[in-house]
């Protein structure tokens, strides 16, 4: 009996879950963070995208080429990463329940269960080099095979997304004694949430 109830529950959750995508507001994709602590740098100051080709076509972003890190950290530094979705309501950016954080990004950079792996790091082909240096060593090249990116929020349950949203993505570095490095990295991706028809 419990098993049957469980199956029904899972089945219904599957029906009610909705996928959304974010239709980008800014052709440059990344926007500086509006509420970053002093000393925070923009993603384009931490990673050089000059050799990266980024083309937006309807709801898909085509990416290929190389990016080079310009964030200068020490090999034993720890990088914490945070993703948070905000909704623009009544003139303010209000937090939502959709957040994700990791205290130690580098060992999980190629973890296949992570969003960033599916969306980004799985397409970085010089994995050995990148796994060794992460985004800590100045001048590390991230070589991308061409890939298409659609910014999707999958399996959203118990909430309806509509209107303007932004994802705030931040990286903070700590030295071996857990003292924060002066420059964290922060950027936003803004867009309009749209339901994906199944
Ligand atoms: C990316 O870097 C690799 C290795 O340095 C090089 O062979 C390749 O030509 C570069 N690609 C682009 C688009 O700059």
pLDDT in tens, 158-173: 778 889 999 999 999 9
pLDDT (tens digit, 9 = 90+) per residue, 126-149?
Answer: 999 999 999 999 999 999 999 998
Asked if residue 102 belongs to a domain, the reply is yes
The answer on pLDDT for 124 being more than 90 is yes
CATH (domain of 76): 2.70.220
Q: What is the CA radius of gyration of the chain?
A: 18
Query: Given this model, what pLDDT does residue 116 score?
Result: 86
Q: Based on the structure, what is the number of domains in the chain?
A: 1
Q: For ligand 1, pick from 52, 66, 128, 141 the residue to mutate: most ligand atoms within 8 Å of CB.
A: 66
Asked if residue 189 belongs to a domain, the reply is yes
Query: Is any ligand 1 atom within 6 A of the Cβ of residue 65?
Result: yes
Asked if residue 13 belongs to a domain, the reply is no
Query: Is any ligand 1 atom within 6 A of the Cβ of residue 51?
Result: yes
Single pTM value for the model: 0.83
The answer on pLDDT for 8 being more than 50 is no
Percent of the chain's residues with pLDDT above 90: 63
Query: Given this model, what pLDDT does residue 126 score?
Result: 96
Range of the domain at 80: 19-195
Query: Given this model, what pLDDT does residue 97 score?
Result: 86
Query: Is any ligand 1 atom within 6 A of the Cβ of residue 141?
Result: yes
What are the start-end ranges of the E strands in the chain?
18-24, 30-31, 41-42, 47-48, 52-57, 60-69, 78-89, 92-102, 141-149, 152-156, 163-174, 185-195
Asked if residue 9 belongs to a domain, the reply is no
Rounded to the nearest integer, the mean pLDDT of the chain is: 87
Asked if residue 1 belongs to a domain, the reply is no
Residue 17 vs residue 18, higher pLDDT: 18
Comparing CA positions, the residue from 189, 187, 186 lying closest to residue 172 is 186
Asked if residue 99 belongs to a domain, the reply is yes
Asked if residue 3 belongs to a domain, the reply is no
Residue 99 vs residue 16, higher pLDDT: 99
Percent of the chain's residues with pLDDT above 70: 91
DSSP annotation of 90 reads T
CA-nearest residue, atom 13 of ligand 1: 65
Asked if residue 8 belongs to a domain, the reply is no
Residue 2 vs residue 181, higher pLDDT: 181
Query: Is any ligand 1 atom within 6 A of the Cβ of residue 48?
Result: no
């Amino acid at each position: 009996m419990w098993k049957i109830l469980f199956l029904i529950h899972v089945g219904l959750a599957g029906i009610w879950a909705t996928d959304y995508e974010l239709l980008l507001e800014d052709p440059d994709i990344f926007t500086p963070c509006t509420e970053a602590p002093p000393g925070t740098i923009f993603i384009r100051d931490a990673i050089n995208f000059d050799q990266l080709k980024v083309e937006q076509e309807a709801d898909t972003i085509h990416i290929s080429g190389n990016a080079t890190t310009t964030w200068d950290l020490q090999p034993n530094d720890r990088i914490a990463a945070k993703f948070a979705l905000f909704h623009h309501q009544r003139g303010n950016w209000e937090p939502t329940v959709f957040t994700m954080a990791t205290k130690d990004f580098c060992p999980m950079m190629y973890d296949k269960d992570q969003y960033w792996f599916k969306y980004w790091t799985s397409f970085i082909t010089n994995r050995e080099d990148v796994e060794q240096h992460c985004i800590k060593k100045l001048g590390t090249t991230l070589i991308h095979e061409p890939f298409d990116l659609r910014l999707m929020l999958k399996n959203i349950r118990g909430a309806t997304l509509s209107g303007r949203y932004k994802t705030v993505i931040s990286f903070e570095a700590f030295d071996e004694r857990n003292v924060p490095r002066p420059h964290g990295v922060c950027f936003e991706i803004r867009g309009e949430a749209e339901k994906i028809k199944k």
